[in-house]
Structure 1
Amino acid sequence: MFQKNEFRAEVVRNGMSLEDVAKAIGINYVSLHRKMNGTSDFYRGEIEKIVRLLNLSGEDVLRIFFAK
């Protein structure tokens, strides 16, 4: 299950906004919002771009994108 608050915290730690993240991974803000709320899923390529953009560790990825 996606951890929305953890994701937002990482975005803020990196001095970015959700709009910045959406633009950087090539989607619009509404699409990012839907993915964050579970209406649609993140694609693997989007997760890979987010990992690079926010410099996430493997542990961070598991904690944010794949929490149980």
Structure 2
Amino acid sequence: MSGRKSTQATVRICGASSDGGQDVFVHISAVERAGLSGLPERQKVSYEIQVDRKRGKSSAENLRV
């Protein structure tokens, strides 16, 4: 196990108003690796947050619907 904590959230389109929770970027490659063709708005997903240590940015990985 990687030790990363799984989180659940609802998909929203960039620029749409947030529900107050933390925003996490999801790259299309993570969607494709999960075997999905896309993430419709309001889709419930589980994911792990991965931090790029070089750039200090975080993104969602290991997506599950």
TM-score (norm 2): 0.31
Higher relative strand content: 2
**Structure with more contact order per residue of length (Cα contacts < 8 Å, sep ≥ 6):** 1
TM-score (norm 1): 0.30
Higher relative helix content: 1
Structure showing greater radius of gyration is 2
